[in-house]
């Protein structure tokens, strides 16, 4: 349900608000969701609401970023999607490798805090380095190389 709502919201808001701004808002909400999730563990309904918010904000961020990412090199959209999937999987692997140690050291609270802080670092990098542009023309000769 959260993924469906996130995809519908992304479709409705991304073009209206701008891709970079929409992704930044999603990242901020994801960071907040990670940080508050440990505080919801006392009651089932709060935990479910927290997980719903986390899945919603994460999926919203991911789906809203796809149009911007595919515009970076219009002649190589497939390559850009592949690089994006590889980067996402690398992040998941890093999380899996460090998550158990972090859980053992600090428990659920530390996992939520570090996940939220990592999301805030990502947000800062996004705001600093990602540029949303209008339609981008492919580099001369690039389309022939990709064919």
pLDDT for residue 89: 93
Residue 137 has pLDDT above 60, yes or no: no
pLDDT for residue 136: 47
pLDDT for residue 34: 95
pTM over 0.85: no
Q: How confident is the model at residue 5 (pLDDT cuts 50, 70, 90)?
A: very high
Q: How far from the centroid of its chain's Cα atoms is residue 77's Cα? A: 19
For the chain, report the end-to-end CA distance as a whole number of angstroms.
Answer: 39
Q: What average pLDDT score do residues 78-102 get?
A: 90
Q: How confident is the model at residue 146 (pLDDT cuts 50, 70, 90)?
A: very low
Task: Summarize pLDDT for 20-74 with one digit per residue, the tens.
Answer: 999 999 999 999 999 999 999 889 999 999 999 999 999 999 999 988 888 877 8
Which residues make Cβ contacts (< 8 Å) with residue 97, sequence separation at least 6? none
Q: How far apart are CA 123 and CA 104, in angstroms?
A: 27
pLDDT for residue 72: 77
């Amino acid at each position: 349900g959260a993924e469906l709502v996130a995809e519908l919201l992304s479709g409705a808001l991304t073009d209206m608000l701008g891709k970079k701004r929409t992704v930044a808002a999603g990242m901020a909400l994801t960071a907040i969701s990670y940080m508050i999730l440990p505080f919801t563990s006392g009651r089932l309904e709060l935990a479910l609401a927290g997980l719903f918010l986390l899945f919603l904000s994460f999926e919203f961020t991911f789906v809203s970023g796809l149009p911007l990412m595919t515009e970076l090199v219009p002649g190589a959209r497939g390559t850009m999607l592949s690089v994006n999937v590889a980067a996402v999987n690398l992040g998941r692997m890093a999380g899996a490798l460090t998550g158990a140690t972090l859980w053992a050291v600090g428990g659920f609270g530390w996992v939520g805090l570090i996940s939220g802080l990592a999301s805030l670092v990502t947000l800062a990098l996004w705001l600093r380095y990602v540029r949303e542009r209008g339609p981008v023309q492919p580099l001369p000769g690039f389309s022939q190389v990709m064919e």
